[in-house]
Structure 1
Amino acid sequence: MSTTGFTLTSSITATFADHDIPAGPVLRAAGLPEDLFLHGPVTLTPEQFYRCWTAMEELSGDPELGIRVVERTSTETFQPPLFAALCSPHLRRAAERIAVHKRLLGPQRLLIGPGDELHLTMGWPPDPPPPPGLVVYELALWVAIARLATRARVVPARIAVPDPPGGTVAASWRDYLGVPLGRAAEPVVVFAAHDARRPFLTANAEMWRVFEPDLRRRLADLERAESMAERVRAALVELLPAGEGTTAGVARRLALSGRTLQRRLAAERTTFQAVLDTTRHALARTYLNRPDVSIPEIAFLLGYDEPSSFYRAFRQWSGTTPQRARAR
């Protein structure tokens, strides 16, 4: 478990076996020891994790490997946070739970957009970029979860990635997803409101009560190891739409005094304002990819009292206006 790496268990070898890919050559091609999983869960850097995925694609000789992996999705291969999602009453609640616990699996962020439709945007570490096939797989996994839990062919309203595949791979993804893969600056999948609330046949409140304490404990362990800037950023994502993205609001969420919060950020050579600005900028880029959210609404979601304040800040961050950024 790490704030900067991807945590994998030995169950990943079952994925290799499901697709007749020997684990040893994959690890060797990725520059990792072949006995990597003999001693329990391991944490890989983003670069190591991406090399493993790329090695799987190359050694399988199957350009549609991501589709095959998604199609074989079952409860057997789920790690605890994902398995716990199946205990949820519906997809929206599952997404809310995963958004909280996603950090237990790797340095990714799941942003849930406003509105009745369920907008799920995936954030990845900025460098190096993830393999395009992995990005599509991560979004398609939400479709697999919805179908597995409801036993219905749930079709997303929209799904888009920065680098969609072409040719026969694109056609195969369209057949599986039910819609074509679009292009967007940030990976996003959207579900209709009725699908977001479609009851999960796997809902199990008792099982969730069993899982939740352990997940909560693991999150607490992670937060103790996490930087203060990362904790502030995560709190801001939740607090900004409510207009509480202030030093006092974040300090309350983190159970700290405002002075302690500022002192710990200073120890990391940053400030609350710097973290606030970078978080707002990242969220603004995500919201601008959604044509259904107006620019005044984006200003509100980022905690600005007036759209003009957002305009000035965005120009300072990016050197352009929100309208021009959206047009691009």
Structure 2
Amino acid sequence: MITPDALLSSQTLLTSLVGMLFDFMNARQLELPELRQRLLDHQHDARLPLAIWLDALDELAITCPEPGLGLKIAEHIRTDHTGIVGYLCLASTTLGEALLRTSRYARLLADTIPASLQSSGADTVELVWIQADGIYGLLPEELAVAAFWVFVQRISDWPLHIKSVQLASPCPGNEEIYGRWFGCEVKFAGQDTRIRFDNSFLQAPVKLADPGLASLLEQQAQAMFMSLPTHDTLSQNLQRCLLKYLPEGGPDLPLMAHELGISRRQLQRLLAQRGLTFQTLLRRTREQLAKRYLADPNLNLTDIAMLLGFSEQSAFSRAFTRYAGQNPRNYRQQVWAAQPSK
């Protein structure tokens, strides 16, 4: 789930990834001037606040309400969108080297979920985004996995196939779209996000391999990686405050500032530095907590409404339907149906 900690821990992504969104919008002839301007406001920044990226995807989802939207956006990924990590992969000798470097420097692309390359049996390897738990929702998750797959296919001439894909988000009800796109079984509601390959995948040559250039780029990537900021403590304190006061009717900005021992203006400024407003944070927190609570069979809808600070169940149902596109009961049924039987 997206907790205040996840949203406010200075999480960012590479600003050049926005180029993929622009290319998609241009291909679809989508004007969206306000969205374009919000993204262009950061064009000279190396890093983009994660919240702005998530809001941009939310707006695209509203404009293009179609299944598998992330798969279609991902088809516009280019090497120049991916910065030094993409060029380092492009200079690698094999896809195995490229995957190792992707997992090692994943934070340069997006300072969100750590990635790792893991062996799974005698003939299988997996790229795993650990502890994902559906934290950012289906659209950002499917976009990240699909963009990775599109990029990998473009840097190697070998016929490549995936064994399986696992997404942490609940099944959207049209899983066949994902199976056709990836060309393999796609599972939902997993404990993490992972792509499974045959071991031979690692030996596939990269078209433009340049070991000398790769060595130089790796030194640069290492220096950039070490310069990434560490997470601050504001996130942890806000998480504690929000979770404490939500069941009491919902916290407001002055209360949160008082709890943190700072002025209202200081808190607003700290939020703005992370691309957030208090209302955006509160909305996203409620949204993702609601999804977590709805997956818990021990909580009824009245309990959930109370835990999220709504005055009554109907208010919670209206709010959830507005941002999830379906009512809480239908969402709960989908989540439970996607969970493996015990």
- Common fold: TM-score over 0.5: yes
Corresponding position: 1:15 with 2:21:
yes
Number of positions where the alignment pairs a residue of Structure 1 with one of Structure 2 = 222
Decide whether aligned partners of structure 1 residues 11 and 121 sit closer, same or farther in structure 2, where only a CA change above 3 A counts.
closer
Structure 1, residues 124-167: CA drift from partner, whole Å, max 9, x if none? 677x9202122122222332233112224422111111225445
Structure 1, residues 73-112: CA drift from partner, whole Å, max 9, x if none? 3323222112311222222221211222112221220022
- Alpha-carbon distance in structure 2 between the residues aligned to 1:90 and 1:71: 22
Q: Match for residue 69 of structure 1?
A: 73
Q: What RMSD over aligned residues (CA atoms) do the two structures have, in Å?
A: 3.1
Greater relative CO (CA pairs within 8 A, separation 6+): 2
Offset of residue 228 of structure 1:
11
| Partner of residue 191 from structure 1, selected from 174, 190, 197 | 197
- Alpha-carbon distance in structure 1 between the residues aligned to 2:195 and 2:118: 11
Letter in structure 2 aligned against 1:118: V
Q: Match for residue 95 of structure 2?
A: 91
5+ residue gaps, structure 2: 1-7, 234-339
| Partner of residue 55 from structure 1, selected from 49, 53, 59 | 59
Q: Match for residue 107 of structure 1?
A: 112
Letter in structure 2 aligned against 1:179: C
Offset of residue 72 of structure 1:
2.6
Decide whether aligned partners of structure 1 residues 7 and 34 sit closer, same or farther in structure 2, where only a CA change above 3 A counts.
closer
SS of the equivalent of 1:39 reads coil
Offset of residue 187 of structure 1:
0.8
SS of the equivalent of 1:43 reads strand
Corresponding position: 1:26 with 2:35:
yes
Corresponding position: 1:200 with 2:206:
yes
Q: Match for residue 45 of structure 2?
A: 40
- Alpha-carbon distance in structure 1 between the residues aligned to 2:212 and 2:32: 36
Identity of aligned residues (%): 13
5+ residue gaps, structure 1: 230-325
Preserved contact between residue 23 and residue 34 of structure 1 (Cα < 8 Å): no
Preserved contact between residue 141 and residue 167 of structure 2 (Cα < 8 Å): yes
Letter in structure 2 aligned against 1:203: A
- Alpha-carbon distance in structure 2 between the residues aligned to 1:186 and 1:19: 30
Letter in structure 1 aligned against 2:222: R
Decide whether aligned partners of structure 1 residues 167 and 40 sit closer, same or farther in structure 2, where only a CA change above 3 A counts.
same
- Alpha-carbon distance in structure 1 between the residues aligned to 2:220 and 2:82: 16
- Alpha-carbon distance in structure 1 between the residues aligned to 2:43 and 2:107: 24
Corresponding position: 1:221 with 2:227:
yes
Offset of residue 11 of structure 1:
5.4
Letter in structure 1 aligned against 2:127: L
SS of the equivalent of 2:160 reads coil
Letter in structure 1 aligned against 2:54: Y
TM-score (norm 1): 0.58
Q: Match for residue 127 of structure 2?
A: 120
Letter in structure 2 aligned against 1:176: W
Decide whether aligned partners of structure 1 residues 202 and 167 sit closer, same or farther in structure 2, where only a CA change above 3 A counts.
farther
- Alpha-carbon distance in structure 2 between the residues aligned to 1:149 and 1:125: 27
Structure 1, residues 31-50: CA drift from partner, whole Å, max 9, x if none? xx4642243323314x4432
TM-score (norm 2): 0.56
- Alpha-carbon distance in structure 1 between the residues aligned to 2:67 and 2:168: 18
Decide whether aligned partners of structure 1 residues 220 and 34 sit closer, same or farther in structure 2, where only a CA change above 3 A counts.
closer
Preserved contact between residue 87 and residue 205 of structure 1 (Cα < 8 Å): yes
Q: Match for residue 149 of structure 1?
A: 155
Decide whether aligned partners of structure 1 residues 38 and 160 sit closer, same or farther in structure 2, where only a CA change above 3 A counts.
closer
Corresponding position: 1:139 with 2:145:
yes
Decide whether aligned partners of structure 1 residues 195 and 38 sit closer, same or farther in structure 2, where only a CA change above 3 A counts.
closer
